[in-house]
Amino acid sequence: MQLLSDRILNMATSATLAMAAKARELRGEGKDIIGLSLGEPDFNTPDFIKEAAIQAINDNYNSYSPVDGYGELKDAIITKFKRDNNLTYTPAQIVVSTGAKQSLANIAGVMINEGDEVILPCPYWVSYADIVKLNDGVPVEVKTSIDTDFKMTASQLEAAITPNTKMLWFSSPCNPSGSVYSKDELRALADVLVKHPNIYVVSDEIYEHINYGEGHVSMAEFDDMYDRTITVNGVSKAFAMTGWRIGYIGAPEKIARACNKMQGQITSGANCIAQRAVITALNESPSRVQYMIDEFKVRRDLILSLLNDIEGFNTNTPEGAFYVFPNISHFFGKTFRGTTINNASDFSMYLLEEALVATVDGGAFGNPDCIRISYAASQEQIIEAIKRIKEVVS
Ligand code: PMP
Ligand code: GLU
């Protein structure tokens, strides 16, 4: 009998984490790798949040929390949703999880039946497709290109809908393209969805605060979408808390209850110290973390100007998150230093081996003409990385 399940054998390894592990391994061998692969702020968690965690340890928070999160944390999340997104939720609609990744896995686990289709505008965040497949769902990729700023149009959404469509999953600001849907663009998608009342939306808003443009709009803000939208958010990105592992949802009560039930059999409540710290993080004004967003914007402008200087990197202007997603298909079929580049995976590996710069193959995000470069790194690292890239593709 086969040792491992078909389920795990058929699952792709997370490309972002795999590249980060490879970069770490090469660094261990003494190579001077610049890591622009992982979507992780390079800032420390702000002191006011760290102090809340230390206080929680000293206050003897050491027992299991309620499975769906402490009541005080749910209250802070409700305050945050109201303050930042004009969304009204009750405690029964909130579930706190071990990262937004678990929130997404919960949603898939409680909503997808075999053969249900989930529409994923491409490029999408790397784990969406595999979380859907793990739950016997069928990812339906909707291709977008740099010409529409990598955003799905209403007519593309309409064309992708079938009688089996269960959900639409998307992130805005988008990982990996950095694109942000405007209110009008979201409304146009909502206008299609109101004609299909059985379709639910997973609106992944984890980059909400990392927005350099007009400001964030939540799909659930539209009255006719509120009952059909699961708003996913977390503290990893805006608060530089990736390792603390706290994410959360605001959802229709039935779905929230189901996620709570799922989590109760799989992980129980999220880490209790991290939950206490997040109460403090969310009760504060987002202006406390604006210094990080300001710095990301400077880096975005820097990396765009440096990339524009290299022939073959065709890039949109990302309005949020901390990634650029250049189309590098110009290099396909070309040979550099004895290596022929046939696709984005070859290109990303070539950059790792020759420029010692870690990026991620866009194919992992559903767009094999692009690579993702994270600019959550210092300005010095960005300048050095792009200089090295320029050298190896000239
Ligand atoms: N959604 C998106 C779009 C992301 O980029 C990430 C990256 N971490 C997640 C969800 C998951 O975040 P976490 O589990 O760290 O909360
Ligand atoms: N979300 C980040 C990224 O896209 C972190 C890695 C991960 O969880 O996949 O790089």
**Burial of residue 313, with CB atoms counted within 10 A of its CB: 0-12 exposed, 13-18 middle, 19 or more buried:** buried
| Residue ID of nearest Cα to ligand 2 atom 1 | 39
Mean pLDDT on 41-55: 97
> Average pLDDT, stretch 81-100?
98
What is the 393 CA–ligand 2 centroid distance (Å)? 27
pLDDT of 74 over the 90 cut: yes
Task: Kindly tell me if the per-residue pLDDT of 214 is higher than 90.
Answer: no
Atom of ligand 1 nearest to the CA of 242: 15
pLDDT tens track for 137-196: 999 999 999 999 999 999 999 999 999 999 999 999 999 999 999 999 999 999 999 999
Measured between alpha carbons, how far is residue 375 from residues 40, 173, 386 in Å? 9, 15, 11
Q: Which residues of 30-47 are buried (b: 16+ CB within 10 A; e: fewer)?
A: eeebbbbbbbbbbeebbe
Q: What is the largest CA-CA distance in the chain?
A: 62
For tokens 């595999």, the residue is 130
- What type of residue sits at position 70? Y
> Residue for token digits 């300001």?
294
Task: Report the pocket of ligand 1 as residue ranges, CB < 6 Å.
Answer: 39, 99-101, 125, 171, 175, 204, 206, 234, 236, 242, 247
Using a 10 angstrom Cβ sphere, with 0-12 exposed, 13-18 middle and 19 or more buried, the burial of residue 151 is buried
pLDDT at 312 over 90: yes
Residue 380: band (very low, low, confident or very high) from pLDDT cuts 50, 70, 90: very high
Using the structure block, give the residue that is written with the tokens 């524009």.
Answer: 308
Alpha helix (H) residue ranges in the chain: 6-9, 15-28, 47-58, 71-85, 99-111, 127-134, 154-160, 183-193, 223-226, 253-266, 272-283, 290-307, 344-350, 379-393
**Which candidate, 319, 343, 2, places its Cα nearest to that of 182?**
319
Return d(Cα 265, Cα 369) in angstroms, integer: 41
Rounded to the nearest integer, the mean pLDDT of the chain is 97
**Taking a C-beta distance cutoff of 8 angstroms, is the pair 328, 347 a contact?**
yes
The pLDDT value given to residue 315: 95
Query: Which pLDDT value is given to residue 18?
Result: 87
Which residues sit opposite 374 in a β-bridge? 323
Q: Could you give the angle at which helices 272-283 and 71-85 cross, rounded to 10 degrees? A: 30
The response to whether residue 182 sits with its C-beta less than 6 Å from ligand 2 reads no
Which tokens belong to 250?
């605001």
CA of residue 2 to ligand 2 center, whole Å: 31
Give the Cβ contact number of residue 226 at 10 Å.
17
- Contact between 317 and 146 (Cβ < 8 Å): no
Taken in order of first residue, the domains within the chain and their CATH numbers are 6-44+289-393 (3.90.1150.10), 47-286 (3.40.640.10)
Q: Whose CA is nearest to atom 3 of ligand 2?
A: 39
The pLDDT value recorded for residue 274 is 98
Secondary structure of 319-353 in the HEC alphabet? Answer: CECCEECCECHHHCCCEECCEECCCHHHHHHHHHH
Q: Give the mutation target among 237, 242, 322 for probing the ligand 1 site: most ligand atoms within 8 A of CB.
A: 237
d(Cα 365, Cα 165) in Å, to the nearest integer? 21
Report percent pLDDT > 70 for the chain. 100
| Cβ density class 130-145: b for 16+ within 10 Å, e for less | bbbbbbebbbbbbebe
Q: What pLDDT digit, counting tens, does each position of 229-247 carry?
A: 999 999 999 999 999 999 9
For 139-150, the pLDDT digits (tens) are: 999 999 999 999
Atom of ligand 2 nearest to the CA of 39: 10
Q: Is the pLDDT of residue 114 over 90?
A: yes
Token look-up 């070309």 returns 334
Query: Angle at the Cα of 179 (from 174 to 180), degrees rounded to 5?
Result: 90
Average pLDDT value for residue range 113-133? 97
Name the token pair of 287. Answer: 């202006």
The tokens describing 224, both together, are: 């006719």
Q: Ligand 2: does its nearest atom lie under 6 Å from the Cβ of 16?
A: yes
- Per the CB < 8 A criterion, the answer to whether 325 and 367 are in contact is yes
pLDDT at 102: 98
Token pair listed for 271: 């880490």
Q: What is the reported pLDDT for 260? A: 98
Of the candidates 206, 127, 222, 214, the one whose C-alpha atom is nearest the C-alpha of residue 173 is 206
